[in-house]
Amino acid sequence: MSVVFKNDKVAYVGQSHGKPPVMSAKDKALVEKITEEHGAWFEGDGKDAVEGVKYKGSWDDELAKTLKDYPMEFLYVLFTNVDVNNQKSILVGDGSIFDRIIATQNKLNYFKNRRYDEATLKSFLSKVGGGLLKASQDTASKANVAKFEDRGEHLMWESGDSPARNLADKANAIRDNWLRARSAGVYYVGKDHLSKLKLNSERPIRGGHKLI
Please state the pTM of the whole predicted model.
Answer: 0.85
Are 83 and 14 found together in one domain?
no
Domain around 76: 72-169
Are 87 and 60 found together in one domain?
no
Are 35 and 78 found together in one domain?
no
Please check whether residue 53 lies inside any domain of the structure: yes
Please check whether residue 178 lies inside any domain of the structure: no
Please check whether residue 179 lies inside any domain of the structure: no
Please check whether residue 58 lies inside any domain of the structure: yes
Mean of per-residue pLDDT scores for the chain: 90
Cα of 83 vs its chain's centroid, Å: 14
Which residues is 5 bridged to in the sheet?
Answer: 11, 210
For 84-104, what is each residue's pLDDT tens digit?
889 999 999 999 999 999 999
Are 126 and 101 found together in one domain?
yes
For 113-138, b/e burial (b = at least 16 CB within 10 A) is eeebeeebbeebbebbebebbebbee
Radius of gyration over every alpha carbon of the chain, rounded to an integer in angstroms: 19
Please check whether residue 211 lies inside any domain of the structure: no
Residue 2: the pLDDT is 86
Are 77 and 159 found together in one domain?
yes
Are 47 and 109 found together in one domain?
no
The yes-or-no verdict on residue 119 having pLDDT over 90 is yes
- How far is Cα 142 from Cα 21, in angstroms, rounded to an integer? 34
